[in-house]
C-alpha cells in the first residue's frame, strides 16, 4: 500500500510539470497566433489550454486515488485515476470539435489570412519544450505504473508533433498560401479528437471492469504450475487505477488440512504478487474430485 501511494505521489509531479508547461505554451501560442494571424497556432494554443485543464483533472484524480479505504469505498479510491483519464478525453473532445468548426467556418467565409513567420518559430520552440515534457512524463509513468500519467505523456507527444506540423504549415502559408494555415488548424482539431477517443476508449474499458484476457490466461497457466493446485475453477480480475485486483477459485486435494491448504494459498499469492505486481488477490479453495 505504502509503495503504491509513493508511486502516485511521484506521478503527481509529472502532472504538475505538464500543467506549468501548458500554461506557458498556451499563453505564448495564443498571443503569437493572434498577432501573427495564424489560425493553426491559435488552434494549437487552445489545444494546450485544454491539455492544461486535463492535466489538472489528472492531478486531482491522482490525489483522490491516494485516499484510504472507508466504509463506503471498501476497495479504496483507486478508480479516481481512471475517472481523471475519462474527464481528460471529454475536455479534449469538446475543444477538438470547436477547433474543427472554427476552421471549417473560416473556409466557408473565406477568412484566411497570411500568417507571420513568427508563429512558425513559436511552434518549433513549443515542440522542443513538449518533447522534453513527454520524455519526463513517460519515464515517470513507466517507473510508477500510472495509467493517468501515461495518458498525459501520450498527449504530450501528440502536442509535440502538432507543434511541428503547425510550424511547417505556417512557413508554407507565409508564401501566399493562407488556406494551408486554416487546413492545418482543421487537421490539428482532428488530431485532438483522435487522441481524445483513444483515451476515452481506454478509460471506459477499465471503468467498466474490462481486463486483458491474454493476461488472465497467463495468470491461470502460472497458477496451475504451483504446488497443490489441481485445477483453476474460475479466474477474474479488474483494474482500479494501476492496481490489479485478482479473484481466483482453485481446487485442491480434499484430504489436505486447512493449515496445509492455507500455506499453499499463501505461496500462490506471494508468487503472483512478486511476479506480476498484483495489488490484491482473493483465493477461494474448493475440493478437487476427478471427473468420472
Task: Give me the pLDDT at residue 220, please.
Answer: 93
Task: Give me the pLDDT at residue 1, please.
Answer: 59
Tracing cell 510550424 back to the chain, one arrives at 167
* Residue extent(s) of CATH 3.30.70.1350 domains in the chain: 213-287
Q: Minimal CA–CA distance to 183: which of 39, 60, 20?
A: 39
* Cα→Cα distances 11→143, 240, 244, Å: 9, 16, 18
* Residue extent(s) of CATH 1.20.1510 domains in the chain: 1-207
Strands (E), the chain: 231-240, 243-252, 280-287
Q: What tens digit of pLDDT does each residue of 215-234 get?
A: 899 999 999 988 889 999 99
Contact of 38 with 180, CB cutoff 8 Å: no
Could you say which architecture CATH assigns to the domain 1-207?
Up-down Bundle (1.20)
Low-confidence ranges of the chain (pLDDT < 70): 1-2, 106-107, 109-115, 173-178, 180-181, 291-292
Task: Give me the pLDDT at residue 174, please.
Answer: 66
User: What homologous superfamily does CATH list for 213-287?
Assistant: Cation efflux protein, cytoplasmic domain (3.30.70.1350)
pTM: 0.69
C-alpha 84: how far from chain center: 9
Task: Give me the pLDDT at residue 173, please.
Answer: 67
Task: Give me the pLDDT at residue 233, please.
Answer: 92
Contact of 133 with 36, CB cutoff 8 Å: no
Q: What tens digit of pLDDT does each residue of 130-182 get?
A: 999 999 999 988 887 777 788 788 878 878 877 887 787 777 766 666 676 67
Helix, strand or coil, per DSSP, at residue 158: helix
Task: Give me the pLDDT at residue 131, please.
Answer: 93
Task: Give me the pLDDT at residue 181, please.
Answer: 66
Amino acid at each position: 500500500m505504502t509503495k503504491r501511494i509513493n508511486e502516485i505521489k511521484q506521478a503527481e509531479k509529472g502532472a504538475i510539470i505538464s500543467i506549468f508547461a501548458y500554461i506557458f505554451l498556451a499563453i505564448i501560442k495564443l498571443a503569437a497566433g493572434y498577432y501573427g494571424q495564424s489560425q493553426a497556432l491559435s488552434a494549437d494554443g487552445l489545444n494546450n489550454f485544454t491539455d492544461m485543464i486535463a492535466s489538472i483533472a489528472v492531478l486531482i484524480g491522482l490525489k483522490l486515488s491516494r485516499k484510504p479505504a472507508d466504509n463506503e469505498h471498501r476497495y479504496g479510491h483507486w478508480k479516481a485515476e481512471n475517472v481523471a483519464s475519462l474527464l481528460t478525453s471529454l475536455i479534449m473532445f469538446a475543444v477538438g470539435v470547436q477547433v474543427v468548426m472554427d476552421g471549417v467556418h473560416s473556409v466557408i467565409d473565406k477568412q484566411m489570412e497570411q500568417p507571420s513567420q513568427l508563429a512558425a518559430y513559436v511552434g518549433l520552440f513549443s515542440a522542443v519544450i513538449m518533447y522534453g515534457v513527454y520524455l519526463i512524463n513517460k519515464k515517470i509513468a513507466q517507473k510508477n505504473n500510472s495509467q493517468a500519467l501515461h495518458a498525459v505523456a501520450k498527449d504530450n507527444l501528440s502536442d509535440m508533433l502538432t507543434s511541428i506540423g503547425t510550424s511547417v504549415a505556417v512557413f508554407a502559408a507565409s508564401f501566399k498560401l493562407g488556406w494551408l494555415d486554416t487546413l492545418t488548424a482543421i487537421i490539428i482539431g482532428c488530431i485532438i479528437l483522435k487522441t481524445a477517443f483513444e483515451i476515452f476508449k481506454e478509460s471506459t474499458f477499465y471503468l467498466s471492469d474490462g481486463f486483458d484476457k491474454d493476461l488472465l490466461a497467463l495468470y491461470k497457466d502460472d497458477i496451475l504450475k504451483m504446488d497443490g493446485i489441481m485445477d483453476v475453477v474460475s479466474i477474474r480480475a479488474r483494474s482500479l487505477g494501476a492496481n490489479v485486483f485478482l479473484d481466483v477459485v482453485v481446487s485442491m486435494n480434499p484430504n489436505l488440512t486447512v493449515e496445509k491448504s492455507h500455506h499453499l494459498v499463501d505461496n500462490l499469492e506471494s508468487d503472483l504478487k512478486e511476479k506480476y505486481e498484483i495489488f490484491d488477490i482473493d483465493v477461494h479453495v474448493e475440493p478437487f474430485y476427478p471427473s468420472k
